[in-house]
Structure 1
Amino acid sequence: MLTPKDQQEVLSIITSRRSAKTNAVIVLPTKFARLLKIAPRLQKSQFQSKFSTILLCTDEPVNSFEISATNQLSLMHMANIVGILPGKTKPNELVIFSGHYDHLGVDPTNKVDSIYNGANDDASGTTAVMQLAKYYAKLGNNARTLVFAAFTAEEEGGFGSTYFSHQFDPEKVMAMFNIEMIGTQSKWGENTAYITGYEKTDMGEILQKNLAGTGFTFHPDPYTDQHLFYRSDNATLARQGVPAHTISTSKMDAEPNYHKVSDEISTLDLTNMNRIIRCIALSARSIVNGAETPSRVNTAELR
């Protein structure tokens, strides 16, 4: 069993490679093998370096090793889809609503059902973004400028959101609502969701206050061992200090259709999903109208 200290230690080793000056092979005990399966899902942009890092998990002494690798590069044209509602009184202050529209594609070895539909991951999130865009466009009274983004290449390392995030001055982004997998009920049941990185800003407290009397509850992320705060499209802006959080209901320890071809619309609780989208809109009111601004992420903790 990995302790939080174990997890922090190995992730510190991995993230330290961002400033690498040489290639390296890092040998770790086999107990870290499960965590290293998660590591590539952490935003790859966090670890970009001119030098290679190879991670080996073994409990045996390593006196020598031989490594060979081949790469095949292909050009892919990808695009984010973005809509903007200019703010009425604070147009230079931005609030972002986002989700990712890509998934895992096709499994040619599966002769029965080869398509990864990604209904929950993350068509549920992009549905929320589109519905919120319609809602705010109809209201027409947003003080701050609202940006609605559907990202490409989240599953490949967050390339779409990384590019998107660098198009903005982070000081002008007041908040980011990234919506990821809200199509199934959370571990607490109906009318609940969780916010990743809840403790890093006071955004969750603001959202919950705006939901007083609705019966809906935003919980802190219960899956902190999976480091979800830096595994989704909020990560790049969060690393720049923006109160950028992901809202989700996915039971990360027991979601039966996660990253499977069975992630289809028939598995979603659409009634509960509709409630979640409505409550995201209600919870964001004071941020959208410019009355409240969440505290920033402490970037000093990330160094």
Structure 2
Amino acid sequence: MRLAASALALLFAGTAASAQTAPAISLDTLKTVTRTLSSDEYEGRAPATAGEDKTVRYLVERFQKAGLKPGNKGSWVQDVPLVEITGSNVQPLTFTGGKTPVSLDYRKDMVIATYQVTPRTDVKNSDVMFVGYGINAPERGWNDYAGIDVKGKTVVILINDPDWQIQGLDGPFGGRAMTYYGRWTYKFEEAARQGAAAAIIVHDTEPAAYGWGVVQSSWTGPQLEQDTPGNHMDQSKAIGWIQQDAAKALFASAGKDYPALIEAAKHKGFKAVPLGVKASLGFDNTIRRQASKNVVGILPGTAKPDEVVLYSAHWDHLGRCDAVNGDDICNGALDNASGTAGLVALAEAQVKAGPARRSMVFLAVTGEESGLLGSKFYAENPVYPLAKTVGGVNMDGVNNIGRARDFVLIGVGKSELEDLVKPIVAAQGRVIVAEPTPEKGSYYRSDHFSMAKLGVPMLYGESGEDLRVGGKEAGRKASESYIELRYHKPQDEYSDSWNWDGALEDLGIFYTLGRQLAEGSTWPNWYPDAEFRAVRDKSRASVK
């Protein structure tokens, strides 16, 4: 249940007082850690590389200097078993049997990979089915796989949810706001459950929320997965993306009306359509197994040290990537050297304030860019039991464009942490606003989601676009410029021109919320209608 108004008033008063006495967040730390981690020396911080080794050493040094203690039974790290699969000798993806053959070139027209840990991937003469949005959601009465058998076949899938073009939040899948059914990870998971040999997503910039360049840089080169028994042989043989123009060529060859089928897929009762063509592809895989590392530091609590408040950020980025103007290092300055710098700066501030009643854990995770691998491993193998994890904050990039009048809660309407943070935001003279781009599915794209799935309430918030200097137009332009020109590209580099004022304000919010949780005795829960409420209730019941 949401907190009562009287309780919120008391929290507001306490927040205002604590905000005045809180240690300052170190601007020097933010600049130094971001600049260091995003330098070419760290080679883009890809897991299981020399860049990782440098990153982990540096973070341990900074955590130790901040005054934290080793957070994993006397160790600063938690090993995360990963398997790296690097495709090579990639043959064109071909479709035959239609009006004209369609041949798609690697990187230019399509990207292809596999979750299966095998030296060779081949799909030959596989029947192709268009399965709309590739969703099987019984609770919503929606099943794009109803009445068909796709075992051994290749499925072509649309990105996002069927109702993503609705501007409001009303619709079978939340309207403009993406659900997990819209994420590419879900699309491939469901295709595998259905037995598809290959699963191909059609790229479209607006519903995907990023351009083809992001797909190209993220899906080429070494690909990482959690190393688990069974070598992921229960997954589809091949997974990948094709450009929208390539999809149109495919449908034309199959004699199908592409716009008409796209429209039909938006409506309940859509039936998957055989395209009457066959797909073939093949590539070799180089396999390397190596443990990556989460970095864990703790500020032990005084009264309830076994109850923990969690701060998290991912240290990894893409490493070496497709070159742009001769630069092939994806430095990941904003994403997420800056968030990791925020983690270090918060650790420093909390240590300066002294231990709280509860412990505070600072977790820098690996493998976010490869599918939240480090946070997923921690959530499934927690150093501190999730049932005794009060809640926390995740940071994936900080504000580098100046102070904002607003503050955005990503995935709003889920947990009571939102009630706790409202007076903290208000104390800064700011307002909480609706997520401006809910269609991007940001709630399912960062490490808080790994914890949320297993019940731990995690706040994921950031400055909005209403800048105190320049207003909404300046904020929107800055956001669009970053997505178009720098996100997941070599151009995401540190700059002395960054304005850190907004980051300092946001980190002040995170500091106060974490301190409040750590000094208190409450256990914030998910709202009753949140999808994670049941697992949290069950988890907490186990320790009562």
Same fold by TM-score greater than 0.5: yes
Would you say 1:259 and 2:488 are equivalent positions? yes
Name the aligned partner's letter for residue 190 of structure 2. R
Would you say 1:117 and 2:331 are equivalent positions? yes
Would you say 1:281 and 2:511 are equivalent positions? yes
Q: Is the 8 A contact 1:204 1:218 kept in 2?
A: no
Structure with higher strand content: 2
Match for residue 161 of structure 1?
Answer: 375
Deviates most, 14-23 or 160-169: 14-23
Match for residue 298 of structure 1?
Answer: 531
Would you say 1:69 and 2:283 are equivalent positions? yes
Distance change (3 Å), C-alpha of 1:123 and 1:175: same
Q: Distance in 1 between matches of 2:233 and 2:191?
A: 6
Q: Distance in 2 between matches of 1:136 and 1:102?
A: 24
Q: Distance in 1 between matches of 2:339 and 2:291?
A: 23
Would you say 1:88 and 2:302 are equivalent positions? yes
Distance change (3 Å), C-alpha of 1:27 and 1:146: closer
Distance change (3 Å), C-alpha of 1:92 and 1:19: farther
Name the aligned partner's letter for residue 399 of structure 2. G
Distance change (3 Å), C-alpha of 1:78 and 1:284: same
Name the aligned partner's letter for residue 531 of structure 2. N
Distance change (3 Å), C-alpha of 1:282 and 1:11: closer
Q: Is the 8 A contact 1:94 1:172 kept in 2?
A: yes
Q: Distance in 1 between matches of 2:240 and 2:206?
A: 10
**Alignment partner of 1:272 out of 494, 497, 502:** 502
Deviations 1:193-233 (A, max 9, x none): 42222211121221122344322444443221111111111
Would you say 1:233 and 2:447 are equivalent positions? yes
Q: CA deviation at 1:89?
A: 1.9
Distance change (3 Å), C-alpha of 1:212 and 1:119: same
Match for residue 50 of structure 1?
Answer: 234
Distance change (3 Å), C-alpha of 1:112 and 1:183: farther
Deviations 1:88-138 (A, max 9, x none): 222222211011111121347456443322221111111111111111112
Distance change (3 Å), C-alpha of 1:11 and 1:135: closer
Calculate the aligned-residue CA RMSD, in Å. 3.7
Give the structure with higher Rg (CA): 2
Q: CA deviation at 1:294?
A: 2.3
Distance change (3 Å), C-alpha of 1:15 and 1:77: closer
Name the aligned partner's letter for residue 143 of structure 1. R
Q: CA deviation at 1:77?
A: 4.1
Q: CA deviation at 1:300?
A: 7.2
Distance change (3 Å), C-alpha of 1:28 and 1:99: closer
Q: Distance in 2 between matches of 1:185 and 1:173?
A: 33
Name the aligned partner's letter for residue 146 of structure 1. M
Report how many aligned residue pairs link the two structures: 297
User: With structure 2 as the length reference, what TM-score do the two structures score?
Assistant: 0.48
- Aligned pairs for 1:23-42 (under 5 A) are 23-25=196-198, 35=208
Distance change (3 Å), C-alpha of 1:103 and 1:114: same
Q: Is the 8 A contact 2:189 2:235 kept in 1?
A: no
Q: CA deviation at 1:237?
A: 0.9
Q: Distance in 1 between matches of 2:428 and 2:359?
A: 26
- Aligned pairs for 1:74-223 (under 5 A) are 74-107=288-321, 109-110=323-324, 112-168=326-382, 169-185=385-401, 190=404, 192-223=406-437
Q: CA deviation at 1:264?
A: 2.3
Distance change (3 Å), C-alpha of 1:274 and 1:51: same
Q: Is the 8 A contact 1:197 1:245 kept in 2?
A: no
Unaligned runs of 5+ in 2: 1-159, 165-171, 219-223, 227-231, 255-274, 465-475, 536-544
Q: Say which SS state the counterpart of residue 454 (structure 2) adopts.
A: coil
Deviates most, 109-118 or 260-269: 109-118
Q: CA deviation at 1:180?
A: 1.0
Q: CA deviation at 1:54?
A: 4.3
Q: CA deviation at 1:182?
A: 1.0
Name the aligned partner's letter for residue 490 of structure 2. V
Q: Distance in 1 between matches of 2:239 and 2:326?
A: 36
Deviates most, 13-22 or 290-299: 13-22
Distance change (3 Å), C-alpha of 1:51 and 1:204: same
